[in-house]
Amino acid sequence: MPPTIEYAVVNPATGETLKRFDAISDDDLRDGVARAHRAHEEWNRSITVADRAAIIRRVGELHSERKQELGEIIVREMGKPIEQAVGEVEFCKAIYDFYADNAEELLADEQIKLLDGEGSAFVRKSSYGLLLGIMPWNYPYYQVARFAGPNLIIGNTVLLKHAEQCPESAAAMEQMFHEAGIPKDAYINVYATHDQIEWLMADPRLRGVSLTGSERAGAAVAEIAGRNLKKVVLELGGSDPFIVLGSDDLDATVEAAVGGRLENTGQACNAAKRFIVVDELYDEFLDKFKQALTAVQPGDPSVEGTTIGPLSSSKATERLAEQVKRAVDSGANLAAGGDHDGNFFRTTILTDIPEDNPARYEEFFGPVAQVYRVKDEEEAVRLANDTPYGLGSYVMTNDSDQALRVADRIDAGMVFVNGVGAEGAELPFGGVKNSGYGRELGRYGLDEFVNKKLIRVVG
């Protein structure tokens, strides 16, 4: 892991450094671990599930009450357009509400029917202990909600290490958790370095780690966790296919394709990135898609109505520009865009991408779309699965039998049929292959860091 990081708010629209935050000292981090470990017993044993759920509900209410202020923070931190930023905060409330509403049912004892019929047995769900959350910059509030919300209700305690470019939103969340009633030692925000995270993960008091981030970060964390026998949930990158097999309304399909690609300025792990279109629809789709996508121009993220803003940082812009250049140098056709002004990257389309082009197997984190022509359903499925990633996928068809047939064959953690933006607090989120393992949200997200304890009564 890199030795040092700096926590700072650097406005990606202007490049101006607005605030700097000190990294936590080794002694303070060790003290935080000790306090969070000690807090687990009282938080888990002395407070009921219902009471913990009520506190988490209040966390959601505070998000809603402060949504404009919170939205403006992440506009400054990572350039999200303000309407999307506020929408992210509103989605967080839905997540906190879901777990508050359903916690007692989801954590209820599960009776087991015994084969011999003697005595009884059941599984009791109890807390795991102290957890570490390592969060990314692209959804600063949402990622924390889906990790911290359920785990605090379960009775786990949390150390939260946010992305280095999101220190202000991290501090705002810690304040809301404490204001809502979470004990100060049960949720601790830590501006930790990579070196500190490595020795922290070796601490026997830490029971589990949840990371959302890059494939490289996931591999590093999984390696350290494996050496130290720590449970890990990894939500990593994706290069999600958007498969167009049929449509009764191609304009609506194109609208969904544009929306699926440009959410969060294209910086979403589960964004539609590879558009795979059957031959008979390809030319018309590409024409309409190009017209609609290039009509969206980057704008000031602080202004209402802006669809895409700047990329999150100069480093992100340089990386994306290098990927596009490498794709074109390796034989891809640059059908639109490809350039940028500062961190404002124009919407871009790549077509005619050869099989040996590295672009086929990389994740493009920004408003760059790859469009592929295939002859039939079989080739579409093969191409969709020809990726190291397996997070989400989208299938567009007017044939219901085909929809389920193709969904069954997609090697991914999620398949959305005839729609984008259909995620929900109750729906599990996660992937396979290099997109990670484990799930967040819904009942499956709650089950990740739970001790499913068997209690067997004989006689």
Cα-based torsion angle of the residue sequence 344, 346, 347, 349 in order, rounded to the nearest 10 degrees: -130
Confidence of residue 166 (pLDDT cuts 50, 70, 90): very high
Q: Is residue 45 part of a domain?
A: yes
| pLDDT confidence tier of residue 51, bands split at 50, 70 and 90 | very high
**Residue 5, pLDDT score:** 75
Q: What separation in angstroms does the CA of 6 have from each of 9, 72, 159, 251?
A: 10, 21, 19, 45
200-227: pLDDT as tens digits:
999 999 999 999 999 999 999 999 999 9
Q: What is the spatial distance between Cα 77 and Cα 368, in angstroms, rounded to a whole number?
A: 22
Task: Name the residue with tokens 């946010």.
Answer: 162
Residue 445 contacts residue 121 (beta carbons within 8 Å): no
Domain membership flag for residue 154? yes
Consecutive H or E run containing 262: helix 250-262
Tell whether 106 and 232 lie within a shared domain. yes
Q: Is residue 67 part of a domain?
A: yes
> How many whole angstroms from its chain centre is CA 361?
20
Are residues 248 and 208 part of one domain? no
Q: Judge if 226 and 256 occupy the same domain.
A: no
**Cα 148 from Cα 215, distance rounded (Å):** 22
Catalytic residue of the set 77, 168, 215, 235: 235
pLDDT value at 387 more than 60: yes
Q: Specify burial of residue 226 (Cβ count, 10 A radius: 0-12, 13-18, 19+).
A: exposed
The CATH number covering residue 175 comes to 3.40.605.10
Catalytic residue at 235? Answer: yes
20 shares its domain with 161: yes
- The 3-state DSSP class for residue 415 equals coil
- Whole-angstrom Cα distance, residue 347 to residue 88? 22
| 1 part of a folded domain | no
State the residue range of the domain holding 280. Answer: 240-425
- What does the DSSP 8-state code read for residue 110? E
Indicate whether 37 and 108 sit together in one domain.
yes
The rounded distance, in Å, linking the Cα atoms of 287 and 295 is 12
CB 275 within 8 A of CB 336: no
Do 159 and 36 contact (CB within 8 A), yes or no? yes
Is residue 198 part of the annotated active site? The answer reads: no
Does one domain contain both 169 and 229?
yes
Residue among 364, 270, 264 at smallest CA distance from 306 = 264
DSSP H helical segments within 79-214, as ranges?
A: 82-106, 142-154, 167-180, 194-200
Q: What is the pLDDT of residue 1?
A: 41
Of the candidates 285, 293, 289, the residue with the CA atom closest to the CA atom of residue 245: 285
Same domain, residue pair 172 and 306? no
Q: Summarize pLDDT for 314-333 with one digit per residue, the tens.
A: 999 999 999 999 999 999 99
* Residue 186 sits in the same domain as residue 272: no
On whether residue 442 sits in a domain, the answer given is yes
Contact indicator for 78, 84 with CB cutoff of 8 Å: no
Q: Is the model's pLDDT at 357 over the cut of 90?
A: yes
The two three-digit tokens of residue 446, written as one number: 């709650």
Euclidean distance between CA atoms 114 and 456, whole angstroms: 10
264: CB partners within 8 A, 6+ apart:
80, 84, 138, 139, 271
- Does 2 fall in a domain? no
pLDDT at 459: 76
In a shared domain, residues 190 and 334 = no
Residue 102 lies in a domain: yes
Q: For residue 123, give the 3-state DSSP assignment.
A: strand
Would 430 be classed as within a structural domain?
no
Q: Residue 217 to residues 139, 170, 194, 338, 414: CA-CA distances in angstroms?
A: 17, 20, 10, 27, 22
The pLDDT-based confidence of 3 (bands split at 50, 70, 90) is very low
- The number of beta carbons lying within 10 Å of the beta carbon of residue 228 is 15
Clarify whether residues 283 and 411 are in a common domain.
yes
| Sign, CA torsion 440/445/450/456 | negative
- Strand pairing report for 416-417 and 394-396: parallel
Q: 285 and 175, same structural domain?
A: no
- Which pLDDT belongs to residue 4? 59
Note the pLDDT tens digit of each residue in 231-287. 999 999 999 999 999 999 999 999 999 999 999 999 999 999 999 999 999 999 999
Cα–Cα dist 152/158, whole Å: 7
Taking 80 as the threshold, does the pLDDT of residue 2 lie above it?
no
Say how many domains are in the chain: 2
SS3 state of residue 134: strand
Regarding whether 254 and 121 lie in a shared domain, the answer is no
What does the alpha-carbon distance between residue 201 and residue 227 come to, in Å, rounded to a whole number? 9
Q: Which of 92, 164, 174, 269 is catalytic?
A: 269
pLDDT above 90 covers what percent of the chain?
Answer: 98
270: domain CATH number is: 3.40.309.10
- pLDDT bin (cut points 50, 70, 90) of residue 116 is confident
Which of these, 209, 71, 208, 64, lies nearest to 139 by C-alpha position? 71
pTM (predicted TM-score):
0.96
